[in-house]
Structure 1
């Protein structure tokens, strides 16, 4: 059983309210959950203490036993002060190849250093 920490939507139309729940990843969004570990009210003021409440000790426990937080829950955990390592790292960012430096790269047969020094547009 793969366990995830995610949001379950409550509230009515145009007035969302979310619970932060620990649930089986195959269960429905608002279906059966294992434990409620907090809540999030996006309509409350940003400084209002009722906007976000998370039981950090319980979240730390679930993360230690292998629960995977969703992206939105990772953001909420970061806001509440818990550092969570992202699953996939930075998405959409190319990591530089360590074998090639910026000066060794060539663009259409011209070295990158020459392009920058004479101001050519690539």
Structure 2
């Protein structure tokens, strides 16, 4: 059974509220879970202590059992000091898309032509 520590959405429309839960990865996002480990309320200010509440001991126990946190929960655990920060390597994120690269090449070609025309005069 592949266990995940993840966020389960609650709250009403446009008013999200999340439970941090330990659940089987095959279960639906908001479906059955094994244990509630904390809460996350994104509507509260970032400096509020009530924004993220976690039972660190329970989370540590699940991590020791082999549960894998999702990306967002892993970031919360890093902020709480439970888990060491891992390097995220996404080298393609900073690269522009194909069309942007084509536009940049066209702009560079036009600039080179304009420079040659200015030198020829």
TM score, norm. by length of structure 1 = 0.70
Residues 1-122 of structure 1 correspond to what in structure 2 (within 5 A)?
1-84=1-84, 86=86, 90-93=88-91
Q: Contact between 1:5 and 1:69, CA under 8 Å: does it hold in 2?
A: yes
Q: Distance in 2 between matches of 1:71 and 1:32?
A: 20
TM-score by length of 2: 0.70
Larger fraction in helix: 2
- 1:61-118 per-residue CA deviation (whole Å, 9 max, x = no partner) reads 00001000000000111122212464xx53324xxxxxxxxxxxxxxxxxxxxxxxxx
Unaligned runs of 5+ residues in structure 2 are 92-121
Partner Cα separation in structure 1 for residue 34 and residue 52 of structure 2: 20
Q: Report the Cα distance in structure 2 between the residues aligned to 1:31 and 1:84, rounded to whole angstroms.
A: 29
Q: How far apart are residue 47 of structure 1 and its match?
A: 2.0
3-state SS, counterpart of residue 22 of structure 1: strand
- Superposition CA RMSD, Å: 1.7
Pairs aligned (count) = 92
3-state SS in 2 of match to 1:73: helix
